[in-house]
Amino acid sequence: MKVGFIGLGRMGAGMAARLLEAGHELTIYNRTRSREQPLLAKGARAAVDIADASRADAVFTMLADDIALENVVYGDGGMLAHLPSGAIHISASTISVALSERLTADHAGLGQRFVAAPVFGRPEVAAAGRLFVVAAGASDAIERAGPLFEAVGQRTFVISEEPRAANLVKLSGNFLIASVIESLGEALALVSKGGVDKGQYLEILTSTLFSAPVYKTYGDLIAREKFEPAGFAVALGHKDIRLVLAAGEELRVPLPLANLLRDRFLNLLAHGGEALDWSAVGALAARDAGAV
Ligand SMILES: NC(=O)c1ccc[n+]([C@@H]2O[C@H](COP(=O)([O-])OP(=O)(O)OC[C@H]3O[C@@H](n4cnc5c(N)ncnc54)[C@H](OP(=O)(O)O)[C@@H]3O)[C@@H](O)[C@H]2O)c1
């Protein structure tokens, strides 16, 4: 398939490499053009501009946030004006439900198709082609995009004909991960101030009732205070919690834990932690306890 890929950050670079390895003809674009180099060496073609990258059967976007995606789609020479009729915009970024709805309507108005396909998994998982894809959109478009999802992920969950549903699932998932980071941080602060070895404590947790990958991955990062380099940056975690709260606002769903997490992220941002990994939220409880 002739595929465009816009946004080669931590996640996009790995996903684009997997598409190339699967044999797709890939045209790439990134705002900071130097980031395209490793993929050009693997056989991708550098787009002249966003419009050029948009002239394909399917175009992935994997951008930081709503503003970045709006710039790419609606800006001068943007994707909306150049994606061919019938072609598919596959939006893998974690964006708001509201923007997903707007994109669904605007692409449909021009005879283009929009599929929301946010992903679970960190950059190393993306590089290994082992992401979990949560896809929603018209069934024929999802079917056409199937081989692309297979290239970037280990499993695709098709959940709805309405793209917005996939964005809601992704946001709720990130809310749960952030909740785990906070609660792990509190539990680790408690036991370690009480003199228990953090490594041994995590071994007990993760080999018994808490054997899920999320406890293993984040427990280890928090216990070792390994917050740099960021796999998923605090700034993006803060963005996601705000989007969770906006979705709750829209649907009239109070989310008390999400409010607490928003303050945790603000705490890190206020102290210069923007570029740290979001697992740094898990260090705040120890700080509150005077344990560091
Ligand atoms: N990292 C993770 O673990 C993870 C996991 C699942 C989902 N996600 C989601 O995936 C998306 C990408 O995450 P990431 O970790 O890859 O982020 P990242 O490394 O910060 O990359 C962000 C990408 O967006 C581009 N960008 C930012 N602002 C832009 C703008 N105004 N106009 C055009 N391009 C812009 C960046 O271009 P430049 O190179 O020019 O800065 C870069 O290509 C986010 O929505 C994130 O929430 C991340």
Q: What are 224-272's pLDDT values in tens digits?
A: 999 999 999 999 999 999 999 999 999 999 999 999 999 999 999 999 9
Q: Is 14 in the pocket of ligand 1 (CB under 6 A)?
A: no
Please give the number of the atom of ligand 1 that sits closest to the Cα of 92: 10
Residue 292 pLDDT > 80, yes or no? no
Residue 5: pLDDT band with limits 50, 70, 90: very high
What are the pLDDT digits (tens) for 87-137? 999 999 999 999 999 999 999 999 999 999 999 999 999 999 999 999 999
Residue 23: pLDDT band with limits 50, 70, 90: very high
Q: Ligand 1 test: best mutation among 6, 8, 10, most atoms within 8 Å of CB?
A: 10
Q: Is 242 in the pocket of ligand 1 (CB under 6 A)?
A: no
What mean pLDDT comes out for the span 65-80?
A: 98
| Residue 170 annotated among the catalytic residues of the structure | yes
Long-range contacts, 100-107 (Cβ 8 Å, 24+)? 100/163, 100/164, 100/166, 100/167, 101/163, 101/164, 103/69, 103/73, 103/163, 104/137, 104/162, 104/163, 104/164, 106/73, 106/80, 107/80, 107/83
Say what the pLDDT of residue 153 is: 98
Torsion of CA 6, 116, 93, 265, to 10 degrees: 170
Say what the pLDDT of residue 291 is: 87
Distance 161 CA to ligand 1 centre (A): 26
Q: Is 10 in the pocket of ligand 1 (CB under 6 A)?
A: yes
Catalytic residue among 2, 42, 170, 226: 170
Say what the pLDDT of residue 22 is: 97
Nearest CA to ligand 1 atom 30: 68
Q: Ligand 1 test: best mutation among 62, 96, 227, most atoms within 8 Å of CB?
A: 62
